Structure 1
Amino acid sequence: MAHHAPRQPSDRSALPDRRMAAPRSRWSRCTTALVALIGATVALTGGATAAHADPSVAEIERRIDEDWNKLEPVIEQHNATRQDLAAKRRQATALARRIAPLQRQVDQAMDQVTGLAVEAYKGEHISAVNALLGSRSPSDLVGQLELLDRFAQRQQRDVRAVVDLRDELAARKAPLDEMVGRLTRTEAQLAAKKQQIDAEIDRLQKLRLKVYGSGGGGALRPAPCPAGYPGGPAGTAVKFACAQIGKPYVWGAEGPGAYDCSGLMLAAWAKAGESLPHNARQQRQVTARVSRAELRPGDLVFYYPDLHHVGMYVGDGWVVHASRAGMPVRMKRVDDGPVNSYGRV
């Protein structure tokens, strides 16, 4: 609440005494005007020490939900991009392994051609060339040239086959390399975006814990629900269950306005796309058994030897549950009651 400076007495209230009062000094009049001006400024600005109330738990969690809904698509796109990038990199690497020996063959062939040219230049085969060129019979000369041409063509075909295969593989690898480059850039952009949203969620989470620490959650929600924001189907289920806090218990109800214990679990996991029976014992039968140490938000906690009650673990040792008639959906400590077992959908 803003603190306002005390109001100065108005001149009107002093009118009856003005004729009897001694004239005030100029300094006195100036200080009075200054005090009035400061008072007006404080009143306009709400005071230098105005208290700013923290947002409510509901407001913070609404903002976290908004940010999380922005983050989850980024996470999913990031995961898909990483998988696609890994696959394309494997394909490009496999082609590179096939290209490498072909390139070596081409290099060796070129080395041989270069070696022959050098030898010819040095004169090692000059006598054969002279003999060929010095042939007296035109038909002999043509035959010799054709023989050399066939030999050269055969060598050229051998090298060309290798070059063609190398170029074919390189042509297949080029778009992969381009795609790897694009996916790498996309991955970096998604990582940066995810980091920014993560930082904002962390900031809101700290503010959320601060408000809960000051008792802002109320008796039904004495701790953050959920303790953190898990992703995937479990995150959807646990956030739905927490959002039902305060709704009444009605036997046989599975929402949206009221719930019994197994009905709340059924509705929460239905929101995440999973089907559960409307019975605590049967829910125990269709969920995978986990240990206390393995508990994570979204897991089910079953109570009593006959398994007649179930709640949802929401993190930090808390569950949310619909307990009994006359008591709304609320949170409690996981050990507040005889735990039978734990199950994971």
Structure 2
Amino acid sequence: MAEHRKRRWRRPTYRKPWSSGGRPAIRVAASLTLAGAATAGALETPALAEPEPTLAEVEERVDALHREAAEATEAFNAATETAEEAEEDLAELSDRATRRTEELNAARDSLGTQASASYRAGGLPAGLALALASDPDEYLRRAAVLDRVGDRQARTVADIGAKLLAVEQLRDEADRRAETLDEARLEADRQRETIEERLAEAEELLATRTAEERERLLAEGAEDGERARAARDEVRPAASAEATSVRGATAVAFAMAQLGKPYGWGSTGPDSFDCSGLTQSAWSSAGVSLPRTSYSQATAGVRVSRAQLAPGDLVFYYADNSHVAMYIGGGQIVHAARSGTPVRLADVDSMPFNGATRPV
């Protein structure tokens, strides 16, 4: 009720123009002027520039960005592989559903002929009416009616029921695979964005350094370009001699032939490779099918220890197996390292070793 009471009007307090809260207006104005000058002075004071990152700091950040890009690349490869498999399954399911639907329609056409004859003879039996129903769900809910029709008709109706159920199951499976396909494509797009963002940031950092510093940051202590190609002929005979199988030697020969080719995330050749794309293509040339990602390749083949390594074996790095290389003998590997560096040789212990397998 208090809110509805009429407010009492109050006369505004009159202040003299030279007064402000009991203080002379000129004094207030002076105070404001001094405060404004102080503020302006503070604003005009140049901010201390952030110190330029050292070469070691840039190297650390670039390495981290490339690691994140490599992890995203393998996730992209996995999503792409899932999408491709789902797309193939979806096409197969669609073909099967089409064939089953044609069989169903043919069976129902045949039953329609029987129904017409029965109707002319005195009415349409319940079983035939049910089988010709346009609603599959209603048919399946009332399928018990089959017990009340003749043997021949029962078999016909049962056959239609089985075909109808098969078509519905195929369509449901196709819907599920379509959802998987959509999700995999979305995941691939997310990982692509991550890769591009990380690599772009790394490029920006590298652009702040001299050409010599950039080369040093990307070198990883491995031979590159012409030096790698020059070393190829020396390494290949030793690798062939040490290989545990003809297939292993073939895989090594393929990988060595790619030395100097650029890194390309999501690529399996022939012009560029990512790490798992190189190993997959190398072993494919030897007649062995490997999964697409480093994560999956780590579970393919026979596990071998660091001491048992032989040319052709796959070597996995980091705790999550996000990088894979091929051992070529002599304590060296060949691998597609990362963006900005070509396929190259490196010491087997140049990265954190996490395991090895021998494809069979």
TM-score (norm 1): 0.43
Higher RCO structure (Cα 8 Å, ≥6 apart): 2
TM-score (norm 2): 0.41
Bigger Rg over Cα: 1
